Amino acid sequence: MDKRELLGPWLRRFLLEHVVHERNLSHNTQQSYRDTLTMLLPFVADRAEIPLDRLRVIDLSGNHIRAFLRHLEQVRKVSVSTRNQRLAAIHALARFIAEHSPQHVAWAGEVRTVPFKKTVRGLVPYLDKHEVEALLKIPDRSTVQGQRNYALLLFLYNSGARASEAANLCISDLNLDTRQPLTASVRILGKGGKVRRCPLWQKTAIELAQLVKERVPEQRVFLNRHREPLTRFGIHALIRRCVVQAGEHTPSLLAKRVGPHTLRHSTATHLLRAGVDLNTIRAWLGHVSLDTTQIYAEIDLEAKARALDRCQIPESKSPTLEPSDGLMHFLRTI
């Protein structure tokens, strides 16, 4: 069998050459593509009754892919958005193989006819300022762990950083000069290796300086109780614990699904309400496209209400009736 027919070598090239080196996709996206293929290949091999290492490219037929997607939804109970995410990885693989192997162009066309499902995009969750303040009151700042938790929550809200960006933040990425307001900043390595710099409030800079003092620049900023780098999963768990505690006094928090990305959405929404333009918010959050940032303009109900108030039609005065004598005189003059 021609080696170009086997699927295995193409998968290695796709994941190592294309995803990592050519596209420079984020680590999370690389893992998502890998996980999709880890689930897809055994499924197809079982249905086609072929040993997994002997699978050919054409064995990933449109019918097998449709069956795999049904399996995801009906057996694994994934959401439509997750189903579409898995399909996007399969489409990317088909496109890569077709670009490098003309004999597989027809196969790739068949695979890419497998459609995405329409989804209803929900409203982006964000916290109001009093809810953010309620969260920030939870950490016990008299303890080392509480000091770290407070600094982390404040940093996430200040910078709008993703959980993975905060987890990977090194002390050397911080400029904590607090001699003048708004001179402190942070260098954030975002998706796809894109670097952005965000200003830090003086308050945030002071908390971070206290957290990292007497530590070497190569260390991560946020460490767990074992003095090892805090992971993005640890950051999620930390925020959930704070939400549960804060919910006792601010019940509205318990009605929302709050995580690191919720704080990121809150940063963007509050910047927009403060009059910051969308292009600045795009750079602040590290969005590639302004279309992504546009969602915050759509969800800002407060801004919509202000706009509606400005467009409100003035209430017309009720007509007043003239005295009856004046009315009779008017009728006679017609």
Known catalytic residue: 296?
yes
Known catalytic residue: 220?
no
Question: What is the greatest pairwise CA distance in the chain?
Answer: 109
Q: Which one from 18, 264, 265, 270 is the annotated catalytic residue?
A: 264
Residue 136: which residues within 8 A CB-CB, separation 6 or more? Answer: 150, 153, 154, 157
Q: Which one from 104, 265, 282, 287 is the annotated catalytic residue?
A: 287
Known catalytic residue: 191?
yes
Known catalytic residue: 70?
no
If we measure between CA atoms, which residue out of 97, 13, 19, 14 comes closest to residue 59?
97
Q: Which one from 56, 64, 137, 191 is the annotated catalytic residue?
A: 191
If we measure between CA atoms, which residue out of 219, 169, 178 comes closest to residue 197?
169
Q: Which one from 18, 83, 162, 220 is the annotated catalytic residue?
A: 162
Known catalytic residue: 21?
no
Chain centroid to CA 60: 31
If we measure between CA atoms, which residue out of 240, 261, 308, 251 comes closest to residue 28?
261
Q: Which one from 261, 265, 270, 282 is the annotated catalytic residue?
A: 261
Contact 97, 14 (CB under 8 A): yes
Tokens of 165: 């960006």
Known catalytic residue: 310?
no
3-state secondary structure of 186: strand
Residue carrying structure tokens 């938790």: 149
What is the Cα–Cα distance from 142 to 194, expressed in whole angstroms?
36
Q: Which one from 126, 150, 157, 296 is the annotated catalytic residue?
A: 296
Contact 254, 247 (CB under 8 A): yes
Instruction: Give the sheet arrangement for strand 195-199, strand by strand.
Output: 174-175, 185-189, 195-199
What is the per-residue DSSP string for 127-167?
--HHHHHHHHTSS-TTSHHHHHHHHHHHHHHHH---HHHHH
Query: Would you name the residues annotated as active-site residues?
Result: 162, 191, 261, 264, 287, 296
